[in-house]
Structure 1
Amino acid sequence: MPTPVIAIFDIGKTNKKLFLFDEHYRIVLEKSEQFDEIQDEDGDSCDDLNRLTNWVTTSLTEVMTMPEFTVKAVNFSTYGASLVYIDQTGQPLTPLYNYLKAYPSQLLQQLFDGYGGESTLTRQTASPSLGSLNSGLQLYRLKYEQPDLYAKLAFALHLPQYVSHLISGWPVSDLTSIGCHTMLWDFDRQDYHKWVIDEQLETRLAPIVASDSARSTAFGEDVLQVGVGLHDSSSALIPYLASFQEPFVLISTGTWCVSMNPFNNRPLTPEELQYDCLNYMHYKGQPVKSARLFAGYEHEQQVKRLAEHFQVPVDQYKQVAYNPETIDQLRQHVSQVTTGEDAKGNQLLSMKGSLFGQRNLDDFDTYNVAYHQLILDIVSQQLISTNLVLAGSPVKRIFVDGGFGKNPIYMNLLATAFPGIEIYAASVAQASALGAALAIHQHWNPYPLPGDCVELKKYTAHAVAH
């Protein structure tokens, strides 16, 4: 008997992956590709949209013909903040512009001037001002810089919905993309912001549907349930929401460490936006208060600096065990870089820059001691960042997934920093792909939702328990 499966396309900036999950959400097939970036008309690097489009359709055709599987459904989890502009026939009109592309300052100023200034607009849309990373601004730019192309535009689709549309032919918008630092959504009014309506951009945004919707679609000889796709950060939260009912915060760690609290729906304050707080959108449509810290990137830069100074391999830190005595000594002796920690200005400065980057490495006798200081500095920033989303909500547990969840020094320091909260290293194999599969569970899978998607390891202050 062929195994019933769901196919999930998990499209990152670097790796493009295809997974098949069986009805118990075990991965039964995995394929991965990396594409070379190409350049847009300005010479900026961007993903190769033609190649991506062909890869999605040919890969799906390939797994559909495998005799050992019956593909029942397909869904998509991709990086956010990227738009594909399609015409009436569904053909892309432009390259897939990179969300890191520099944004023209006069255009940004024109928008801010028209709608009450930067702080008002960023607060109402729960979006720090991030240039092209605010995908709504990309559409605004197309309207003013390429009016001829804009005239041919049927829909601007976020990337997850574009790849879904390739299979279903169904142009839609989804709240996990629309609600995530796009500057499109007014969280006070729970609708598109006034500027979007005034510019008539909402006429070029496809109808919004629930993120857990799917549509029956004929594909070759078969009929598939096709999900509408999810923004990967929101998707990665779904296995946790499926597994845990008690309020929790998830710190998802990679290049960015994002603290997400699905149980805090207080509106963002201007101060929180300064600290890189933002709202993600829960796949059921509620805001997820989140705070970002560039800590994974910082760690990567500083371990290179340490390796050079102490003449050791770059990944030497993986050999360093947690030593509470070292931490106690560092807390007593090493000069803290910023003074007057209570002063908000200093605190903000310490979040923007790197504490460890300002330290003199000659102050440390050994690599191990210096590395403990690096993690101490990162965790002190993490504490500020995570506290922003904890405030005023009844959270009993913090889960850490990704790279820092495997770092015993980070995990132990976090447990010490939050004595009243249970701290767990959590691992979910392929969390964003699994989330996209779970989101449309009811459309393809006859079994109950599994409650054991997440593996946990508990940390308590100064000791590790299993």
Structure 2
Amino acid sequence: MRHIAVLDIGKTNAKVLRVDLATGEETRVFKTPNLVRPAPPYPHYDTEALWGFFAASLKALAAEGPVDAISITTHGAAAALVDGAGALVLPVLDYEFPDPGEDADYAALRPGFAETGSPRLPLGLNLGAQIHWLERHHPQAFARAVHCLMYPQYWAMRLTGVAASEATSLGCHTDLWSPWEGRFSSLVRGRWEGLFPELRPASDHAALRDDLAAAWGLRPGLPVHFGLHDSNASLLPYLAEAGPCAVVSSGTWMICMALGGQRVALDQRRDVLINVNAKGEPTPTARYMGGREFEEMTGGQVVAGAKGAVPVPLPSRHPECGPFPGLLQGALPSQSPEDRTRSASWYAGLMTAECLGLIGAEGPIHVEGPFGANLDFARMLATATGRPVIAAGQSAGTGLGAALLAGPILAARSERAQILPDPALVPVVEDWRAQVAELWSQT
């Protein structure tokens, strides 16, 4: 296997990539917004628009060169209820729809943190809350469902006709999975277990449907890997690390994961949870809406070149999540685009350091995704943690991780630059932490 097509569905954008496993590089990228359609019946993802985008992109890739396999990675907190023919019985609900998170009956049903590693989250971020809400508010359609598919496996089913379940998507703050036992939680065993198809490893694959292969110019029998949750795709290259390390998967969400490290008591109130990695192992994780906050702070105008110190916002623009729930700050004074970019970058570095501290992370910090190319962020993160930051750069992350389900990178891994702590930033760290501690003590 060398040329892998990856379907990569983030919360904000969806992409189709060609990854060359000979070099570990993305050689082609197609991108489209991941649109949310309003009610009726509720806000939902435009799966048909995505399907059209995937079809056109895969056809273009086939016309340009070889495709040896397809892999899939998507954001979490999304599932598809399908009938026996694989058709949706209800649209795929947008996890930012608030109603599922406000259901008091579900709060009484859900298992505790000790069983699932899932804190109670707002909106539809606990997937179990979405399923309960759909069952309660759309009972007739729900009754027609034969399978409940995690989002990567929904797309794998459309490509292959084979239904499967997979642990990384089941284990990302869903309330559906017990990570320490490696099985469905008591919530599922009591009412929904029959909806979930056979559990398969993310690297398992089935053949692309013959009609799709013919329509898109791909070879018959092309393997389609069942795929995995996007944060775990970023984690995949580091599962063989010899010592403790941390991985930061950046995007709309900043997902911070500890491999090895200290065993610490996890505070579920602070958006700390247990994910499940591609080996099926529990993985301490903390997160906040880092990419969303960065975009809001910069107004989408990212300009490097700031000179000197800048003010750093206090948390948070999204107080419904992250390490400082309930703190509503995040405002920036009027600044040049360069200074605003540095302020937002330093803020992200400090918030990420807080997340890593909450999960006992140790060792070097690998940054995947867009923030891997942000040196202001990396310097502040290194200074705030006292540990080196290894930036993968813009092109690494979920797409490459998903491609690795098809096989290893063949080229020797090049050394990545390490960003070390900067003594000049220590006063900024100390001042920010003192202000945050004062605010946090008042909550």
Q: Measure how far apart 1:301 and its partner are.
A: 3.7
| C-alpha contact (below 8 Å) 1:8/1:76 kept by paired residues | yes
Deviations 1:318-355 (A, max 9, x none): 2214x4xx48xx8xxx9x989xxxxxxxxx99564255
1:426 pairs with 2:358: no
Task: Report 1:324-363 matches (<5 A).
Answer: 326=309, 350=324, 352-353=326-327, 357=331, 361=333
Alpha carbons 1:211, 1:284 under 8 Å: kept: no
Deviation string 1:162-218 (CA, Å, 9 cap, x unpaired) is 11111211100111100001110123433211121112x010011111112122445
Aligned to 1:31: 30
1:460 — aligned with what? 421
Given candidates 249, 274, 277, the residue that maps to 1:279 is: 274
Q: State how 1:145-164 maps to structure 2 within 5 Å.
A: 145-164=137-156
| 1:18–1:369 distance in 2 versus 1, CA, 3 Å | closer
Identical counterparts, % of pairs: 25
Pair 1:203 & 2:194 matched: yes
Question: Which of 395, 399, 410 is residue 377 of structure 2 equivalent to?
Answer: 410
- 1:441 match: secondary structure: coil
Question: Per-residue deviation at 1:9?
Answer: 1.3
CA distance in 2, matches of 1:166, 1:246: 39
* CA offsets 1:215-256 (integer angstroms, 9 cap, x no match): 2445346121110021111112223446x4432101233333
Report if aligned partners of 1:128, 1:278 keep a CA contact under 8 Å in 2.
yes
Unaligned runs of 5+ in 2: 316-321, 426-443
Alignment of 1:362-377 (within 5 A): none
Q: Distance in 1 between matches of 2:302 and 2:136?
A: 51
Which amino acid in the other structure matches residue 298 of structure 1? E
Q: How many residues align?
A: 410
Match of 2:237 among 239, 243, 257: 239
User: How far, CA to CA, are the matches of 2:156 and 2:37 in structure 1?
Assistant: 23
Pick aligned residue for 1:74 from 65, 70, 74: 70
Distance 1:451 1:126, change over 3 A: farther
1:440 corresponding residue in structure 2: 406
Aligned mate of 1:386, from 356, 381, 386: 356
* Structure 1 pair 382–37 and aligned structure 2 pair: CA distance change class (3 A): closer
* Paired AA for residue 459 in structure 1: L
Report the residue type matching 2:380 in the other structure. Answer: L
Shift of 1:427: 1.9
Give the Cα separation in 1 of the matches to 2:262 and 2:139. 38
2:176 to 175, 184, 187: 184
Secondary structure at the aligned position of 2:68 is classed as: strand
Q: CA deviation at 1:403?
A: 4.4
Q: TM-score, normalised by structure 1?
A: 0.76
SS at structure 2 position matched to 1:164: helix
Change (3 A) 1:256 1:285: same
Please give the secondary structure, in 2, of the residue aligned with 1:396: coil
Deviation at 1:453, TM superposition (A): 6.8
Residue identity matched to 2:67: V
TM-score normalised by L of structure 2 = 0.80
For 1:320, the equivalent position in structure 2 comes to: 306
**In 2, are the aligned partners of 1:239 and 1:431 still within 8 Å (CA)?**
no
Alignment of 1:52-63 (within 5 A): 52-63=50-61
1:265 & 1:228 partners in 2: Cα distance?
A: 32
Task: Report the equivalent of 2:364.
Answer: 397
Shift of residue 135, structure 1, vs aligned partner: 1.4
Q: Distance between the aligned counterparts of 1:273 and 1:302, measured in 2?
A: 27
Cα pair distance change 1:154/1:70, threshold 3 Å: same
Shift of residue 303 of structure 1?
4.3
1:253 is the counterpart of 2:253: no
> In the aligned structure 1, how far is the partner of 2:209 from the partner of 2:302?
52
Query: CA separation of 1:73/1:302 partners in 2, compared to 1, >3 Å: closer, same or farther?
Result: closer
Distance 1:58 1:414, change over 3 A: closer
Counterpart residue identity of residue 49, structure 1: T
CA gap 1:245/1:407 in 2 versus in 1, 3 angstroms: same
Residues 455, 104 of structure 1: alpha-carbon distance in 2 compared, 3 angstrom cutoff: same
Counterpart code for 2:171: G
CA-based RMSD of the aligned residues comes to 3.5
Deviation of 1:283 after TM superposition, in Å, equals 1.0
Q: Of the two, which has the highest radius of gyration?
A: 1
Does the C-alpha gap of structure 1 residues 249 and 352 become closer, same or farther in structure 2, counting only changes over 3 Å?
farther
